[in-house]
Amino acid sequence: MRIWDLHCHLTGLPGLTPEERATHLLLYADRVGIERLCVYMGLRFLQNPTPEQLIQQNNEVLRALAAFPDRLFGFVYLSAEHIETSLAELERCVAHGPMVGVKLWVAGRCNNPSLDPLIVRAAELKALVFQHTWIKTGGNYPGESTPDDLVALAQRFPSVPLICGHTGGNWRLGLRAIQHQPNLYADLAGSDPTAGITETAVAALGPDRVLYGSDAPGRSFATQLAKVHGADIPESIKQKIFHTNLHRLLTPILTAKGIKT
């Protein structure tokens, strides 16, 4: 079974440098059979980074990528609060750098059309766009997107694949929200390993729109892998979720950049 992990970070690991953090991340990944990892954001979590911090965060990921170019994929961290800096970071890290995707977190909700220039440019570069989403019982952060917010964005860009980070956390509601928007993909990462998430996602979206991710190191690889390994679905579908679907989504940009996998 080939496994690519859509959703990893460098926070919360031993080590003071990006290279040391990535070394530890890969140590654990190797134990559970993960071949490649998508990494985004820097050595600490910044929910609403300044332009300077955004650049710093991406620099840290670039250092990790340089150390492990055959194991890590990088997604550039962008912010709805700083569109000009974000566009410049797209050019620096994706158009002229090694990164292959975009990470949007909680600086601003993604249904706001002010974000559109980022999606337009990311699509031109074939960069895969990942948007964090949650539906929290106690209420979201002010700038935190819901799956419904992402549906609004996806409807404006129906030919651009977009990833629904965490499947909304509350995945029963998240899957309902994104089910009928065919350019939206479910990221299984970063929630408790509640039984049924993967079976329900496959039933709602089909086997080609579900992606394995962990949200390591905050989450164990173990608990997140179990969502797929432990699901009552055919092995062929597990392989799609673990690898084939993400590989397909990344193939355009990997091909454009000449990255062989």
**Three-state SS for 27?**
helix
Distance set, CA 78 to CA 33, 34, 49, 91, 147 (Å): 30, 26, 9, 12, 19
Closest distance of CB 43 from other proteins, Å: 15
Name every residue whose Cβ is closer than 8 Å to that of residue 29 and which is 6 or more positions away in sequence: 5, 37, 216, 221
Binding positions for other proteins, rule: CB under 8 A: 1-2, 12-13, 19, 23-35, 67-68, 70-71, 134, 136-138, 169-170, 172, 191-196, 199, 216-223, 225-227, 229-232
CA distance 15 to 49: 22
Closest distance of CB 30 from other proteins, Å: 5
Closest distance of CB 66 from other proteins, Å: 10
CA distance 132 to 135: 11
Closest distance of CB 188 from other proteins, Å: 11
**Three-state SS for 78?**
strand
Rounded to 10 degrees, the C-alpha dihedral 187/246/74/255 comes to: -160
φ, ψ dihedrals at 107, nearest 5°: -70, -30
- The residues pairing with 74 across neighbouring beta strands, listed in sequence order, are 39
**Residue closer to other proteins, measured from CB, 21 or 82:** 21
**Residue closer to other proteins, measured from CB, 67 or 88:** 67
Closest distance of CB 142 from other proteins, Å: 16
CA distance 38 to 188: 14
Closest distance of CB 104 from other proteins, Å: 20
Q: How far is CA 98 from the centre of its chain?
A: 16
**Residue closer to other proteins, measured from CB, 19 or 208:** 19
